[in-house]
Amino acid sequence: MGRWEPNARGRLEQAAMELYRERGFDSTTVAEIAERAGLTERTFFRHYADKREVLFGGAGILQEMLVGGVRAAPAGLPPVDAIVAALVDVAVGLFEERHAFARQRQAVIASNAELQEREVVKLARLATAVAGALRDRGVGDPVASLAAEAGIAVFKVAFERWVSQPADRPLADYIRACAADLRLVTAGPGAGTSASPR
């Protein structure tokens, strides 16, 4: 194969997801992923450190976009609202056309305890980074930490609901609805009913 390998990352991603679904994550090797993609192992390692990174390679971009969105939110916006606005922007920018991949990824992670732990760590790092972005906006602790944890919980619940449903509603809708539900929860008894899409 020549030096130019069009869309190598996309081909590796697709091949990996097919194999994870067919054989399971643990039973799939990097060599098999590369072969299925029609590429070499060397090419695989130019794009991913290991086979887990096919599932988690976008974490850095997600964190960068989310932190940037929180920092850029209008000055008077309350902390949780700043996070939700950033989450909606990230949902549109990163996940708009990725429902099928996100759904497959979630299924692979759900079937593997080690990957579930890695996902928890990823979300914890996101919360830490978002709390730092809030502090940069002048939000003190514990408010920055509480708001960041709440915002990442909104993302987690919204994402899980989105991947469990057909691709007829964007992730941004689920984020807005979960944020509305969070406001109901924090408002206390008798504040209303769930806003989440069914």
Cα dihedral sign, 81-96-71-128: positive
d(CA 19, CA 44): 15
For the chain, percent helix, then strand, then coil, each to nearest 5? 70, 0, 30
Query: Average pLDDT, whole number, for the chain?
Result: 91
Alpha-helix runs per DSSP H in the chain: 8-23, 30-37, 41-47, 53-56, 59-72, 79-94, 99-110, 113-136, 143-163, 171-187
In sequence order, which residues have a C-beta less than 8 Å from that of residue 189 and are 6 or more positions away?
Answer: none
Question: What is the C-alpha separation between 147 and 144, in angstroms, rounded?
Answer: 5
Predicted local distance difference test score (pLDDT) of residue 51: 95
Q: How confident is the model at residue 4 (pLDDT cuts 50, 70, 90)?
A: very low
Q: pTM to 2 decimals?
A: 0.86
Are 127 and 148 in contact by the 8 Å Cβ rule? The answer is: yes
Contacts for 145 with CB less than 8 Å, ≥ 6 apart: 127, 131
pLDDT exceeds cutoff 80 at 6: no
Q: What average pLDDT does range 6-18 have in this prediction?
A: 91
d(CA 172, CA 178): 10
The one-letter code for the residue type at 2 is G
Answer whether 138's CB lies under 8 Å from 79's CB.
no
pLDDT band at 111 (very low <50, low <70, confident <90, very high): very high
- Residue 104 Cα to chain centre, angstroms: 13
Provide CB contacts within 8 A for 138, sequence distance 6+.
none
CA pair distance 77, 79, nearest whole angstrom:
6
Question: Is the predicted pLDDT of residue 30 greater than 80, yes or no?
Answer: yes
DSSP H or E run through 123: helix 113-136
Complete domains list, the chain, with CATH? 8-54 (1.10.10.60), 58-187 (1.10.357.10)
Band of pLDDT at residue 3, cut at 50, 70 and 90: very low
The whole-number average pLDDT for the span 46-71 is 94
Mean pLDDT of 5-18: 88
Cβ pair 171, 159 in contact under 8 A: yes
> pLDDT at position 197, please?
59
| Residue of 76 and 151 predicted with greater confidence | 151
pLDDT band at 50 (very low <50, low <70, confident <90, very high): very high
